[in-house]
Chains A and B, each alone.
Chain A
Amino acid sequence: MAAQARPLAGLSRISLRSRFYGFGSIYGKTVRDSRLAFIVAAGLLGGMALVMGAAIGSVFPTAASRLEIDKLIGSMPASMVNLFGKPEKLGTLGGYMSWKYGALFALGTALWSIMALSGTLAGEAGKGSLDIVAAAPFGKRRIALEKLAAHVTMLVLAMAVLAIMTILSSNAFGDANLGDHIAPLSAVGFALWVGFIALFFGGLAFALGPVLGRSGAAGVSAAVMMLLWMASGLQGLGWLATISPFHWTVNHVALAGEYDWPGLALVGVVAVLLLAIGVELFTRRDLGVTAGLSLPSLPGFVLGVRGSTSRAFGDQLPRALAWGIGLGLWGVILASLVRSFADQIRQDSSLINTFRTIFPSEDLATAGGWLQLYAQLFLIAAGLAAATFVSKWASDETDGRLEMVLATPTARAKWVLAGGVAAMLSVALMTAMFAAGIAIGAASGGVSPGDAILGSTYLGIYAAAIVGIGVAIGGVWRTSLAGEISALVVLVTYLIDLLAPPLKLPDWFHQLALTAHMGQPMIGKWDFVGIVACLVLAVGGVLLGGLGMRRRDVA
């Protein structure tokens, strides 16, 4: 008797809710998986919009001070215009926020998009879990589109939060008589700009993912993003500016009531094209087979098989070199341009005074002052680099290698110490490459690099402290969160240091930020309390991690 298909009685129905959020569809699961990233991104974007509004009221409380800052328009060095954003209506909340922090909103959101869209398919393919999803009765195109739609959904929601918080911020803290009111169209225009820029670079990562794999796609996209941002702002990179979405939208200053919808649409169209290329490449290529980046292989002897420390350093070396090259190039470009920035400012004493109001802690009439202006960004980059070193060390345990290592006559504490020392060596290498970049750039720009080279070491000192914190967390508690918590410490430190002064928060709260104790090393002003605190955290953290590891279970 021929076998007959049994009726599918008893099959559970897939609820509509779980199709949109949950395990009812690929889209629903991807949305669910993105919830934490969404909360962090929307929280940061909305929170920043709110506190920026609060800040301007305290920095420029009077009409006279607003007029003073408005004078910057037209007298500002051209090379500063696009890097920060076009200065329009600087005396208003929207104009000031767009100019001083607009790029930060766009770059931060783009970084989220890059990480999400490089990982959603390529990362899962690399891990092998995509094979199982692809074996389900859907086409590869549908899988790609559902995953893409999920990220776009989260991005749209985050942008909605940003727009709403921007309006709330202007209503709560702005002065309508001084032109601070932000209309809904302006807020939406700003959020669209941030979202489109994010989708542009996220789209690039998505398109590269099937070819380069997750890390290759994320790395290349992040590097292109920084390059195109700087190309748009710094005149030294010539034609590159013409392909920068920042350049296409330079006249779109929505929070100041200036719109360039065609420019914005161009960014959107290219973003959609990149996403479409990503979908097609994923559909046509073999699953999980990537070309990878043909980087030269490291020689065998630096991979370190002699012992625990050399092995740990050999493991860290590729990412230490990657961070070092990235920071070094950044240093070369900036250091070569700072002299012209400083020269332009020095020519006008009123300009110097105005800049002192906006950047009270930096002397922008000097080249070192300009480098110091970027100190916060350097510190964020170095801190995040340190978090990735912690994460790499932690992967010994999270990936399952540690069992085999500890089954040899290697004590737990020794593994922690070896990993900590290797991460510190990686920090040192990265810092040396950054200092070299600063030296080369300064020499080519006709600036004496002495203080700046020495000042570059503050990056290493701060990064070493972050490594110490991460290793302590990994050793005492768990390695699976050590990298993430280290990165969180970097971001929270940055936010405290950024927001405490304008919000007039208690001094003790501001002092919690490690970066508030770094002095101004780029112009030779050191804060030794900060240095000592960093060194204590670095050495103490590793020792504490070693002690903690002796007491807890291996995961």
Chain B
Amino acid sequence: MTAIIRTEKLTKNYGTHRGIADVDLEVQQGEVFGFLGPNGAGKTTTIRVLLDLIRPTSGKAYVFEIESSADPVAIHRRIGYLPGEFALYDRLTGRQTLEYFGNLRGGVDQAYQAELIERFDLDVSRRFREYSKGNKQKVGIVAALQHKPELLILDEPTSGLDPLVQQTFFSTVREQVRGGATVFLSSHILSEVEKSCDRVAIIREGRIVRLDRVDALRDLAHHQVEMRFAGDPPADEFKKLEGVSDIEVTDHLIRLRVFGPITGVVQTAARLGVTDFLSREPSLEETFLAQYGHAESTPAEVK
């Protein structure tokens, strides 16, 4: 298969501040590639290097096998980009904004543009400054998609969108992929990446800490359980159970982490007379900390 995006030891420092370090990636043609990481991990920095908006301190980035800083215009001709944060022209209406970005690409298929506007239920007669956050995001999405690019680079694209529009967005992306496009999607929402991507890279503190198929991410999932007992919590009973770790006892309260099925913990707790039971799926940030918290940026099993 052809690599649409390829990076080699890509590094970017902002003076004394960390950017990204030794990022190695390959995104194949036709795949939806998720780029996952907490805020400030280096997702946007990587994207900006790919687009030659910033230049790498060392290493190289190739898009369509063109080095990003060698001929960025040739790359830009074939991509659609939605930045994580953007502001457009306050005085222009949505229609004028889309027309302008279409013109910068030498024109777009008007019928497809109209279809996208209708699909996203976007009122293009209003000025950009009058739009809500979600509607501004819709304008950005249509601007990124309207010229049917070969590669879509989307930085946290669902930010500000309601669940229905998110569904529309992902179905449109899938449609573009069926038409031969490749998608590079950055996000900090695990569930979003899980349902839309083929492969995913996890970036933390500027380094890729994991790169795998999405199915393989399931082993990151765990539950945090908090239980209250009338007397002292029977910590030893839980220690014996498979998948249980990080047990903490405070007075009548016991906290533990469960990887895999939670059934054993529930049954044991019920048998021992639990008075209160709370289980929750932790946030991605917590998952990362649990999984990579002590790794101190050591690359783990980059595939």
The answer to whether A404 touches B91, judged by C-beta atoms less than 8 angstroms apart, is: no
> Are A400 and B105 interface neighbours, CB within 8 A?
no
A409 touches B77 (CB 8 A): yes
Verify B85–A400 contact, CB threshold 8 A. yes
A405 / chain B contacts, CB cutoff of 8 Å:
104
B289 is an interface residue with CB less than 8 A from chain A: no
Tell me which of A34-42, A240-248, A281-289, A301-309 binds B: A301-309
Q: Indicate whether A411 reaches chain B with its CB closer than 8 angstroms.
A: yes
Q: Mark A390-405, 1 if CB is under 8 A from B, else 0.
A: 0000000001110111
How far does the alpha carbon of A315 sit from the alpha carbon of B96 in the complex, in Å? 13
B87 contacts A300, C-beta separation under 8 Å:
no
B290 close to chain A: CB less than 8 A: no
Q: Is B300 an interface residue (CB 8 A)?
A: no
Q: Which residues of B contact A305 (CB under 8 A)?
A: 92, 96-97, 99-100, 103
Of chain A, the residue at the smallest CB distance from B102 is A305
CB distance from B228 to the nearest CB of A (A): 12
Q: Is the CB of A401 within 8 A of B55?
A: no
A311 proximal to B (CB < 8 A): yes
Is A130 at the interface (CB under 8 A from chain B)?
no
* Residue A407 is within 8 A (CB to CB) of chain B in the complex: yes
Chain A residues positioned under 8 Å from B27 (CB to CB)? none
Is A177 at the interface (CB under 8 A from chain B)?
no
What DSSP secondary structure best describes chain A's contact surface? Answer: loop
Does A350 interact with chain B (Cβ within 8 Å)?
no
B46-54, B158-166, B176-184, B201-209 - interface stretch? B46-54
CB-based contact A303/B87 at 8 Å = no
Inter-subunit contact A411/B96 (CB<8 Å): no
- Per-residue A-contact encoding for B76-92, CB less than 8 Å = 1, 0 else: 11011101011111011
Do residues A408 and B89 form an inter-chain contact, with CB atoms below 8 A?
Answer: no
* Contact-residue size bin, chain A (C-beta under 8 Å from the other chain): 20 to 34
Q: Which of A315, A318, A403, A408 contacts B53 (CB 8 A)?
A: A403
- Is A72 engaged at the interface, CB distance under 8 Å to the other chain? no
Contact A404–B92 (Cβ < 8 Å): no
How distant is B131 from chain A, measured CB to nearest CB, in Å?
14
Check B170 for interface membership: any CB of A closer than 8 A.
no
In the complex, whether A553 has a CB less than 8 A from a CB of chain B is yes
CB-based nearest B residue for A553: B54
Is A308 in contact with B87, judged by CB distance below 8 angstroms? no
CB distance from A550 to the nearest CB of B (A): 10
Q: Chain B: interface secondary structure? A: mixed
CB <8 Å contact, B100 and A407: no
In angstroms, Cα B48 to Cα A16, docked, is: 44
Question: A408 and B101 in contact (CB under 8 A), knowing A403-B81, A554-B53, A554-B54?
Answer: yes
| A402–chain B nearest beta-carbon distance, Å | 8
On chain A, the residues within 8 Å of B89 by CB distance are 311, 315, 401
Among A300, A303, A307, A408, find the residue whose CB has the most chain B CB atoms closer than 10 A.
A408
**Contacting A404 at CB < 8 Å: which of B86, B96, B103?**
B86
Q: Is the CB of B79 within 8 A of A407?
A: yes
| A273-325 interface with B by 8 A CB criterion | 298, 300, 303, 305-308, 311, 314-315, 318
Q: Is B140 an interface residue when CB atoms closer than 8 A count as contact? A: yes
Contact partners of A399 in chain B: CB under 8 A: 87
**Interchain CB contact under 8 A, B105 and A404:** no
A65 at the interface (CB under 8 A from B): no
Q: Does B73 sit at the interface, judged by CB under 8 A?
A: yes
Q: A409-B105, A410-B104 are in contact. Are A553 and B87 (CB under 8 A)?
A: no
- Whether the pair B48, A407 counts as a contact (CB closer than 8 A) is no
In the assembled complex, A104 has its CB within 8 A of some CB on chain B: no
B 12-24 binary contact with A (CB < 8 Å = 1; else 0): 0000000000000
- Kindly state whether residue A172 has any CB partner on chain B within 8 Å: no
A358 at the interface (CB under 8 A from B): no
B143 an interface residue at 8 Å Cβ cutoff? yes
> Binary interface profile of A, 539-555, with partner B (CB < 8 Å = 1, else 0)?
00000000000000110
Say whether A303 contacts B91, CB under 8 Å. yes
Q: List 12 A-B contacts (CB under 8 A).
A: A307-B103, A315-B89, A400-B86, A403-B53, A403-B86, A404-B81, A404-B88, A409-B77, A410-B76, A410-B104, A553-B54, A554-B53
With contacts A305-B97, A400-B83, A407-B153 known, what are 10 further pairs, Cβ within 8 A?
A303-B91, A303-B96, A305-B99, A307-B103, A403-B86, A407-B51, A407-B76, A407-B79, A410-B76, A411-B72
**A interface with B by C-beta (< 8 Å):** 298, 300, 303, 305-308, 311, 314-315, 318, 399-401, 403-411, 553-554
Q: Which 7 pairs show the lowest CB-CB distances between chains A and B?
A: A407-B81, A553-B54, A305-B100, A408-B104, A554-B53, A409-B77, A399-B87
